[in-house]
Amino acid sequence: MTRRGLKPAAIAGIEFDALIDETKTLSATIPAYPVEDGFPVSDTIILDPVSVQMTLYVTNTPVTWLYRHGSSNDRVRKICDRMESLWLNKELVKIVTTDAIYKDMGITSLSIKKSREIGYAREIALSAQKVRVTERRTVEIPSYILKSGETKANAGTASTSASSSRVETDSAGSGRNSGSVSGGSSTSSAKKSQSILYGVASGLKLI
C-alpha cells in the first residue's frame, strides 16, 4: 500500500517500480596558485555541478505501482532501451525522486544489471550531473567603435587601378614608351596615390 500523494521515482517521465538507493553529491573546487614563498594560495571556491547516483528497479509485473504501470511482457525491455537512448543521444533529463527534483541532468554513466535472483527484472544504476545551460545573445556594436583615429572619423575607402604604358612610333619609325614622355605626371599621380593609402592606413592605426 502506498501513501497518498507519493509518486514513483522517474527519469525523463519513465517511472520505475522502486528506488533502491540514492546519493546526492555536492562538491567544490578550490584552485591553488603557487607563489615565490614556496606555498600555494587560493582566492576563490568554484562550486561543481550537483551530481546524483541512484539504483532503480524495474519489472514486468510491478507490485508497488501496479495501478499506475499495469503488467506487460515487454515493459522491462522498453524501459532499458529508452534509458540507453537517453544516454546515446546525450539528452538532458529531469530526475524525480521521493524528495527532490533535478532538472537539466546529463547521464554520465548507466549500467543495467540482470541476475538469476531477480529473474526478468532489472536493476539500473545511473549517475547524472547537472548541466549548466547558457544562452546566446546578439548585441549591436555602437557606431563609434567602427570609427578610427582620435577624431572618430570614418576610415573611408581606397581604390587602386593598374596603369599601363603603350609603345608609340615616332616619325622616324623608332619605338618609344609613352610613359617616358609623361613621366612627371605619372610620378606625381603615384605619389598622390601613396599619400592617400598612407593616410588610410594611418587612420586605421595599421602603421
What pLDDT digit, counting tens, does each position of 107-147 carry? 999 999 999 888 889 999 999 999 987 777 887 877 767 66
Q: What is the pTM of this model?
A: 0.59
Rounded Cα gap, residues 11 and 106, in angstroms: 11
Residue 157 has pLDDT above 60, yes or no: no
Instruction: Name the one residue in this structure whose C-alpha cell is 563609434.
Output: 144
Rounded Cα gap, residues 10 and 132, in angstroms: 21
CB 124 within 8 A of CB 112: yes
Q: How far out from the chain centre does Cα 179 lie?
A: 60
Residue ranges and CATH numbers for the domains of the chain are: 10-130 (2.40.30.200), 149-169+176-203 (no CATH)
Rounded Cα gap, residues 152 and 147, in angstroms: 5
Nearest alpha-carbon partner for 91 in 74, 107, 115, 67 = 107
Nearest alpha-carbon partner for 126 in 137, 136, 113, 116 = 113
Residue 51: the pLDDT is: 97
Per-residue pLDDT band for 150 (boundaries 50, 70, 90) equals low
Residue 95 has pLDDT above 60, yes or no: yes
